[in-house]
């Protein structure tokens, strides 16, 4: 890092903004400090941006008593500096600011130590120290402000979703999602959470058919069972029909299959998810279940741990340009209810909800008890938080449990 800073200091404008007390020699290690002092000399003498070759020539000519070994060591150091890319001005300024504050902090700590131990009886040296640095605690920053032109705003706040939902009753009020979005989906057990994301991704006109690269990370159901839902959603055939006519099922499944990756991730944490997104660059990521990813911090309460997972998921969505569907359970309070709300999220009434761009809670009729042929197909999509289109309310649709397809 210090070599990148030295390289940045060779730029005249950057040097002028940080010369003197804002960039004391103490920030640098002994050998690099001598090179920095040569930069100071060059800036005073030439008043322009200088190159690493010029600084090396000045350094070597100004230190004629260097031994052969020292010349070789400094030569190696200059070669490293020449390969360094100068930091962006804003990053370099922030790094210098933090290093500078650490140096001041050390001076203050040393004075405080002397005062506590009786070797210093007056606070005057501390006052003088603070006055000598004055406003240098917070160096002026030259920030490149975000472009707020109408064209840029319209382009970045996309009026059209890149990945559209394939449930017509839903798309009438909410078109779909874009990269960077965190969608939290909650439901009671046996309501159809897995079928919901299988239908959105693999069903007719689903995300995978739109060309999205989709990753499904499951830690609740086994991956082969989740994969079976995707097979039925893609083919529109029940498991029994697929067994009777596998050739037809394969023809329908193959065009979708190439855009879908499924993995059992039991025991993995959100950092592992981030690594996967960095490596595979997906468009859509499903975390089923988001709450069950391992917690790596020491949390006193469960809601803090669950919120931390949601915060990490949102960060991954933004930094890796994907939409994340974060599947969750609802608490027993939601059992048998059709109208649901955010407070019914299990284990975290507000923490997780605060991170979501969109929150969808799924419900079914109380009489629906998952008894095979008697299954009530009606489902209720409660949109309880919506920063995408603003709509809040309940959408009705049907779930064909044999094919895992949601339809209007």
For residue range 301-320, list pLDDT tens digits in order.
Answer: 888 888 889 999 999 999 99
Q: What is the mean pLDDT of residues 330-334?
A: 93
Question: Does 290 have pLDDT greater than 50?
Answer: yes
In a domain, 311, yes or no: yes
Nearest-angstrom CA–CA distance, 81 and 93: 18
Whole-angstrom Cα distance, residue 167 to residue 381? Answer: 11
Residues 175 and 204 in one domain: yes
For residues 398 and 375, give the distance between their C-alpha atoms in angstroms, rounded to a whole number.
Answer: 11
Tell me the two tokens of residue 84: 């360094």
The pLDDT of 123-142, averaged and rounded, is 62
Same domain, 132 and 175: no
Average pLDDT on 363-392 reads: 82
Same domain, 179 and 40: no
CA 201 to chain centroid, in Å, comes to 22
Cis? peptide before 289, omega within 30° of 0: yes
Instruction: Tell whether 102 and 187 lie within a shared domain.
Output: no
Residues 251 and 312 placed together within one structural domain of the fold: yes
164 and 118 both lie in a single domain: no
199 and 243, same domain (yes or no): yes
Burial 53-92 (b: 16+ CB within 10 A, else e): ebbbebbeeeeeeeeeeeeeebeebbeebeebebbebeeb
**Taking 50 as the threshold, does the pLDDT of residue 102 lie above it?**
yes
Q: 214 with 177: CB under 8 angstroms?
A: no
Give yes or no: residues 188 and 275 share one domain: yes
209 shares its domain with 63? no
Polymer length of the chain: 408
Least confident stretch, 151-155, 204-208, 225-229, 243-247: 151-155
Given a contact cutoff of 8 angstroms between Cβ atoms, the answer to whether 51 and 86 are in contact is no
Quote the CA–CA distance of 330 and 312 in Å, as a whole number: 20
Q: For residues 70 and 139, which has the higher predicted lDDT (pLDDT)?
A: 70
Token pair 């009786």 is found at 118
Q: Residue 41 pLDDT more than 60?
A: yes
**What are the two backbone dihedrals, phi and then psi, of residue 264, each rounded to the nearest 5 degrees?**
-75, 125
The reply to whether 324 falls in a domain is yes
* Helix locations, 182-245, DSSP H: 193-202, 223-235, 239-244
The crossing angle, in degrees rounded to 10, of helices 124-133 and 89-116 is 170
CB within 8 Å of 210: residues ≥ 6 apart: 163, 164
Asked if residues 174 and 386 have their Cβ atoms less than 8 Å apart, the reply is: yes
Q: Please tell me whether the overall predicted TM-score, pTM, comes out greater than 0.75 for this model.
A: no
Is 177 found in the same domain as 84? no
Report helix, strand or coil for 81: helix
Structure tokens given for 227: 């994969």
Q: Residue 14: which domain range?
A: 2-137
Q: How far is CA 102 from CA 27, 96, 191, 315, in A?
A: 9, 10, 55, 29
Q: Which of 260, 326, 241, 334 is nearest to 290 (CA)?
A: 326
- Per-residue pLDDT band for 144 (boundaries 50, 70, 90) equals confident
Distance CA 46, CA 12 (A): 10
CATH number (domain holding residue 322): 3.40.50.300
Question: How many domains would you assign to the chain?
Answer: 2
β-pair partners for 217: 263, 287
pLDDT band at 181 (very low <50, low <70, confident <90, very high): very high
Domain stop point among 137, 168, 186: 137
Asked whether residue 127 falls in the same domain as residue 7, the answer is yes
Q: Is residue 31 part of a domain?
A: yes
Q: Is residue 223 assigned to a domain?
A: yes
C-alpha to C-alpha distances, 220 to 189, 268, 287, 316, nearest whole angstrom: 11, 12, 10, 21
């Amino acid at each position: 890092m210090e070599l990148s800073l030295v390289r940045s200091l060779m730029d005249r404008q950057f040097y002028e903004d940080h010369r003197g007390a804002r960039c004391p020699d103490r920030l640098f290690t002994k050998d690099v400090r001598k090179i920095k002092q040569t930069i100071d000399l060059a800036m005073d003498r030439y008043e322009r941006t200088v190159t690493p070759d010029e600084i090396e020539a000045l350094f070597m000519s100004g230190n004629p008593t260097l031994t052969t070994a020292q010349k070789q060591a400094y030569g190696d150091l200059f070669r490293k500096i020449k390969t360094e890319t100068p930091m962006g001005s804003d990053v370099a300024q922030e790094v210098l600011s933090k290093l500078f504050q650490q140096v001041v902090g050390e001076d203050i700590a040393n004075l405080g130590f002397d005062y506590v131990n009786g070797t210093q009886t007056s606070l005057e040296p501390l006052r003088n120290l603070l006055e000598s640095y004055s406003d240098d605690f917070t160096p002026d920053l030259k920030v490149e402000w975000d472009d707020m032109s109408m064209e840029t705003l319209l382009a970045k706040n996309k009026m059209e979703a890149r990945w559209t939902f394939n449930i017509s009753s839903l798309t009438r009020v909410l078109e779909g999602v874009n990269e960077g979005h965190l969608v939290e989906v909650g439901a009671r057990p046996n309501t159809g959470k897995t079928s919901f994301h299988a239908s959105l991704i693999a069903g007719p006109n689903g995300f995978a058919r739109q060309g999205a690269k989709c990753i499904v990370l499951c830690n609740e159901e086994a991956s082969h069972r989740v994969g079976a839902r995707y097979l039925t959603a893609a083919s529109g055939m029940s498991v029994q029909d697929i067994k009777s006519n596998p050739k037809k099922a394969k023809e329908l499944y193959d065009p979708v299959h190439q855009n879908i990756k499924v993995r059992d991730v039991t025991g993995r944490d959100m950092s592992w998810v981030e690594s996967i997104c960095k490596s595979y660059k997906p468009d859509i990521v499903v975390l089923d279940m988001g709450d069950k990813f391992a917690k790596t911090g020491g949390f006193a309460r469960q809601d803090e741990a669950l919120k931390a997972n949601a915060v990490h998921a949102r960060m991954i969505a933004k930094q890796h340009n994907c939409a994340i569907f974060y599947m969750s359970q609802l608490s027993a309070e939601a059992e048998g209810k059709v109208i649901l709300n955010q407070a019914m999220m299990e284990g975290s009434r507000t923490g997780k909800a605060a991170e979501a761009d969109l929150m969808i809670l799924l419900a079914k009729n109380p009489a629906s008890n998952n008894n095979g042929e008697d299954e009530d197909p009606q489902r209720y999509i409660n949109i309880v938080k919506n920063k995408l289109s603003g709509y809040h309310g309940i959408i009705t649709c049907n779930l064909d449990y044999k094919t895992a397809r949601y339809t209007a």
